[in-house]
Amino acid sequence: MADKDPVSIDVAPRSPRFFGRRKGRPLRQSMKRRLDEVLPKLVFDPSVSPNIQFGRHSDCFLEIGFGGGEHLAGLAAAMPDCDFIGAEPYINGVASLLRHIDEQQLGNIRIWPDDVRLILPTIDTASLAGAYIMFPDPWPKRRHAARRILQPALLDQLAKIIRPGGKLVLASDEPTAKSWLLQTAILHFEFVWTARRPADWRQRPADLPETRYMKKADRAERQSSWFQFRRCERYAQTTPKGNPKNMTDKR
């Protein structure tokens, strides 16, 4: 008889598959020390509401895939009255963010050093002021489209946890990724693209710090785009298939 129970295998929650890399070059001693000593104090705890973790009621933002953490640290430094959760499975990137936090003495960041999809279902409805997905891995081949981080199901989760009127910022320099990000978000009825003129997506918004991948794109003379969306003011009731049944927000 087989020693595995097929029923329990079927019903067990599955971790999403992560296709990126979790480790890079060997870390310097100072980076290792921060991972051992500082990270445990700053790890985001999905079982505790962000307000309690940060010890205050504030606008809280999420950055998905913060890479080296330049953008997240820049936001946190520019907005000391807000709090930030950063998710990034690449441990060298986490170590880099810890260095920024240390150097800039930032107290308003919590880190989830893993796949963001593991924590999204745990975050309270309408508890975030916004989310950022900056220069996500483009996965330009059509057969890899399912690997792209922005998917309709992820947007459903973001629509639930971002409060009405909150923002969603997407950016990329890669043509396929730009089209994907824009189309996927435009098609989601709970987000509205706020652009009014080409400069709104062609120029980096003044309040957004540079990211490492943005600088790489600049050096290679690739045009980056920034797409800013607003979470609709009111919730639409959805059918089981996710189609709008009763739109309550006039765009």
Ligand X SMILES: C[S@@+](CC[C@H](N)C(=O)[O-])C[C@H]1O[C@@H](n2cnc3c(N)ncnc32)[C@H](O)[C@@H]1O
Write out the residues near ligand X by the rule CB under 6 A. 18, 20, 64-67, 87-90, 93, 115-117, 134-137, 149, 211-214
Nearer to ligand X, 93 or 130 (CB): 93
Of 60 and 232, the one with the shorter C-beta distance to ligand X is 60
Give least dist CB 219 to ligand X, A. 13
What would you report as the CA-atom Rg of the chain, rounded to the nearest whole angstrom? 19
| Smaller CB separation from ligand X, 44 or 213 | 213
Instruction: Single out the catalytic residue among 10, 102, 115, 137.
Output: 137
Least spacing, CB of residue 212 vs ligand X, in Å: 4
- Minimum gap (Å) between residue 63 Cβ and ligand X: 7
Q: CA-to-CA distance for 86 and 66, rounded, in angstroms?
A: 6
The nearer residue to ligand X, 87 or 98, going by C-beta atoms, is 87
Contact by Cβ (8 Å): 188, 155: yes
**Token output for 212:** 């490492």
d(CA 161, CA 155): 10
CB of 164 to ligand X, least distance (A): 25
45 catalytically annotated = no
Using CA atoms, how far apart are residues 169 and 167, in angstroms rounded to an integer? 6
Burial class (CB in 10 A: 0-12, 13-18, 19+), 133: buried
> How many Å apart are CA 188 and CA 192, to the nearest integer?
8
Which residues are known catalytic residues?
A: 137
